[in-house]
């Protein structure tokens, strides 16, 4: 059992961020890459809430509000782009979406 200290919360935040980053790097499906981006966003919110709780401040909690809103807007736009891309190219695999390469 690990005691819920500030360090433990930060460690979870870092691990979750690292898992999300790993997913962004190794996965080939645009949709799954997008899900892993969401994981990274959520990981940052854990750190903010933990800092707020242990230092007795309110600012971190309010920032989580903003992160949630921005994430919602980001997902809406991102998924619209993915759907538009799929309509044009009939694929969601990143190795086939290399028009801008070179």
Contact status: 68 vs other proteins (CB under 8 A): yes
Contact status: 89 vs other proteins (CB under 8 A): no
Contact status: 19 vs other proteins (CB under 8 A): yes
Q: How far apart are CA 102 and CA 54, in angstroms?
A: 49
Largest CA distance in the chain: 51
Closest approach of Cβ 102 to other proteins, in Å? 19
Contact status: 12 vs other proteins (CB under 8 A): yes
For residues 33-70, one letter each, b for 16 or more C-beta atoms within 10 angstroms of the residue's C-beta and e for the rest, the string is: bbebbebbbbbbbbbbbbbbeeeeeeebeebbeeeeee
Contact status: 61 vs other proteins (CB under 8 A): yes
Positions that interact with other proteins (CB under 8 A): 1-12, 15-16, 19-20, 22-23, 26-29, 31-32, 34-36, 38-39, 42, 45-46, 49-50, 52-59, 61-62, 64-66, 68-77, 79-84, 86-87, 92-93
């Amino acid at each position: 059992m690990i005691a819920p200290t500030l360090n433990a919360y930060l460690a979870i935040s870092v691990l979750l961020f690292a898992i999300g980053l790993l997913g962004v790097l190794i996965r080939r499906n645009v949709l799954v890459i997008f899900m892993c981006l969401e994981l990274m966003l959520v990981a940052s919110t854990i750190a903010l809430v933990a800092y707020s709780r242990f230092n007795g401040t309110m600012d971190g909690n309010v920032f989580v509000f903003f992160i949630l809103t921005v994430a919602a807007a980001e997902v809406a736009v991102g998924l619209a782009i993915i759907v538009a891309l799929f309509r044009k190219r009939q694929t969601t695999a990143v190795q086939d979406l290399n028009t801008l390469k070179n």
